Structure 1
Amino acid sequence: MKNNFKNNIIFRSLLITLTFCVLLASYFLLKKEQIILQVNGKVTTVNSYGKTVKELLSENNICYDEDDIVYPSLHSKLEDYMNIKITYVQQISVSEHSRISYKTEVKKDKSLPKGVTKVAQEGKEGRKTIVYEEIYHDGKLVSRVVNKEMIREEPVNKVVIKGTGTSYVASSVNLSQTLSTEKSSSNVKGNKMVVSATAYSGDSVTATGTRPRWGTIAVDPRIIPYGTKVYIPKFNMTFVAEDCGGGIKGNRIDIFMNSSSACYNWGVRSIDIYIVG
């Protein structure tokens, strides 16, 4: 009886010792130590009894989703001194509004004297919206690409009319032309006037709503009514009174010419004119 009791005590002691050894071995075998964990830019060192990266993250209450980057992968086996990094990924859409520049179209017109240009249509900028897809890793921008582009308003091109017809330069009138025009003026029937004549140029609209051209003169409508045809022997040509000006008073006219240099060369002259219609 005493031997049985003694044997039981020895057996239990051995069993307890064996169990302790198994648990101690399990502790050292299963426990993974000094695992470096990088989350959102912060580095910590942890220990774990888990078998995989996924179990370690669950032990430490670390949240993530399917878009985030976990390295090594969630199913990787844990090892001592392992380095695990989680990169949080965020994707957002950003819209930017911008303008679309218009182009300038130049069209030639033989009905306008050479050197004369006018704007037939003003240009207008368009508007567009560009949608970018931006990707951030731990709050830092790593990618920015165009997802789509939407035209909100199409641009309107500017249209410029460029004259290619015959141009007149006042300074080119020579002596032979003057003699021939003076000779032909003797046969002109109409009221003769002696006026002070200046010259002007540019792209504008006359007082009667027309575009000034070679053949247009500005007058004092109280003296020479709009629409009156005026023959000028100096050029051997009939002009039309279509414009006026603040400084055009009394016996004074302003002759439209094709360039500012021609106006400068003309200056101010006293000339004969004939009211012919």
Structure 2
Amino acid sequence: MELVPAPRPQGRPLWLYLLIAVAILSLGIWLTVAKSVTVIIDNEVHQVVKTRANTVGSALAKAGVVLQPGDLVEPAGTERVTRGMEIRITRSFPVTLVVGGSEQIVQFTGGSVGELLKQHGVKLGELDRVVPDSVQVIAGSQTVEVIRVTKDQVTVEEDIPYGSKEWAEPTLEKGKTKIVQRGQLGLQEKVYEVTYENGQEVDRELLVTRVVREPKDEIIGIGTREPSKAVITARGPVQYKEVKEMIATAYYPGPESTGEWADGFTATGIKAGFGIAAVDPEVIPLGTRLYVPGYGHALAADVGGAIKGNRIDLCFETYNEAIQFGRRTVKVYILD
């Protein structure tokens, strides 16, 4: 039997059949080569795509997935795509990071404060503080502060105040004062441990105090001497410190007044004469200079058996002068 070829349909060119065959073959090849990839964003399935991209980054780009700065892509964008691969994207969020007082906004995908600092290259010093603590988990936008803490020793010089003392000054009149010794400030060194946070002092602890120079007290002399007063004499004003009202008598150093055994000398060995007065040493000490109005200047240099208490016996050059003076009440000025 002779085989006869089937007749070609009329009106359809050969090239059309070839084009359809190539298209069907290409589709089959594409479906065979394309890989199925699941895109998961923040733990939720975003889309499942067929891709012939070689890398994760290319696959995401062709799938229309836009990445923001700081987003975490796993596997990395340079990894090769494999059939059935899951591409996980964790979206970043802004965190305010303050380091040593300097503020910046950084992107973070979540984790602990310590991980945030490590990710952004922030190293902590031994004394530095972190708020919140390094183990605290960051779940969303917030502020993380690194406080730079340093300590230093500082030496400060301080004055030591001087005291004031008083002592009796017999050469000074009562009511008057004078500085006998001027006060001098002392000097001390204080060593502090100073704590700084972000360059600002926040605490100061005294470690030690050293005395460099002791202070010297000021000494004030307080006058104890009775103030001097002036009495007008023939020689002019004379200063006195006390005045006594006394009974005055007069004597002549000859036998008429002192008896036949008188030698003309006083109890202190001074020759008796005008200007010598006999006194009670319990009232006026011997050697005291005196002034008696109506008589003049005198020296307490003699004693007498009848001269006791507020009595004074004034010596004259002649017996008649002594008799004329007689006995009277006088003011006796005790001179300085």
Q: Which of the five TM-score ranges fits, normalised by the shorter chain?
A: 0.5 to 0.7
Note if contact 2:275-2:298 (Cα within 8 Å) is conserved in structure 1: no
Structure-to-structure mapping, 1:29-40, within 5 angstroms: 31-40=91-100
Residue 275 of structure 2 aligns with an amino acid whose one-letter code is V
Residue 90 of structure 1 aligns with an amino acid whose one-letter code is T
Match for residue 133 of structure 1? Answer: 193
Q: 1:14 to 1:101 in 2, by over 3 A?
A: closer
Structure-to-structure mapping, 1:171-250, within 5 angstroms: 187-188=274-275, 233=291, 236=297
Q: Which moved more, 1:39-48 or 1:111-120?
A: 111-120
Structure-to-structure mapping, 1:92-111, within 5 angstroms: 92-109=152-169
CA deviation vs aligned residue, 1:135-176 (integer Å, no higher than 9, x gap): 222122333454433221111112223232433222597xx9
Match for residue 174 of structure 2? Answer: 114
Structure 2 length as normaliser, TM-score? 0.44
Q: 1:168 to 1:186 in 2, by over 3 A?
A: farther
CA deviation vs aligned residue, 1:98-129 (integer Å, no higher than 9, x gap): 22221221123567653454544332221111
In 2, the alpha carbon distance for the partners of 1:108 and 1:230 equals: 23
Higher-RCO chain (CA-CA 8 Å, sequence separation at least 6):
1
The answer to whether structure 1 residue 159 and structure 2 residue 246 are counterparts is no
Q: 1:14 to 1:74 in 2, by over 3 A?
A: closer
Residue 19 of structure 1 aligns with an amino acid whose one-letter code is M
Residue 86 of structure 1 aligns with an amino acid whose one-letter code is V
Note if contact 2:182-2:219 (Cα within 8 Å) is conserved in structure 1: yes
Structure 1 length as normaliser, TM-score? 0.52
CA deviation vs aligned residue, 1:37-93 (integer Å, no higher than 9, x gap): 112333222223563211221121112213112111111123221321111112222
Unaligned runs of 5+ in 1: 190-228, 239-277
Larger helix proportion of the pair? 1
Q: 7, 12, 19: which one pairs with 2:85?
A: 19
Match for residue 112 of structure 2? Answer: 52
In 2, the alpha carbon distance for the partners of 1:177 and 1:86 equals: 91
SS at match of 2:111: coil
The answer to whether structure 1 residue 84 and structure 2 residue 171 are counterparts is no
Q: 140, 164, 168: which one pairs with 2:228?
A: 168
In 2, the alpha carbon distance for the partners of 1:14 and 1:99 equals: 81
CA deviation vs aligned residue, 1:186-207 (integer Å, no higher than 9, x gap): 7227xxxxxxxxxxxxxxxxxx
Residue 104 of structure 2 aligns with an amino acid whose one-letter code is T
Match for residue 19 of structure 2? Answer: none
Percent identical residues: 21
The answer to whether structure 1 residue 71 and structure 2 residue 137 are counterparts is no
Match for residue 124 of structure 1? Answer: 184
Q: 1:232 to 1:133 in 2, by over 3 A?
A: same
Q: Which has the larger radius of gyration?
A: 2
In 1, the alpha carbon distance for the partners of 2:134 and 2:298 equals: 97
In 2, the alpha carbon distance for the partners of 1:105 and 1:167 equals: 23
- What is the root-mean-square deviation of aligned Cα atoms in Å? 4.3
In 1, the alpha carbon distance for the partners of 2:216 and 2:189 equals: 17
Q: Which moved more, 1:75-84 or 1:119-128?
A: 119-128
Q: 1:231 to 1:71 in 2, by over 3 A?
A: closer
Note if contact 2:157-2:190 (Cα within 8 Å) is conserved in structure 1: yes
Residue 103 of structure 2 aligns with an amino acid whose one-letter code is V
Residue 47 of structure 1 aligns with an amino acid whose one-letter code is Q
Q: 1:87 to 1:237 in 2, by over 3 A?
A: farther
- The count of aligned residue pairs is 187
In 2, the alpha carbon distance for the partners of 1:115 and 1:76 equals: 77
In 1, the alpha carbon distance for the partners of 2:205 and 2:143 equals: 32
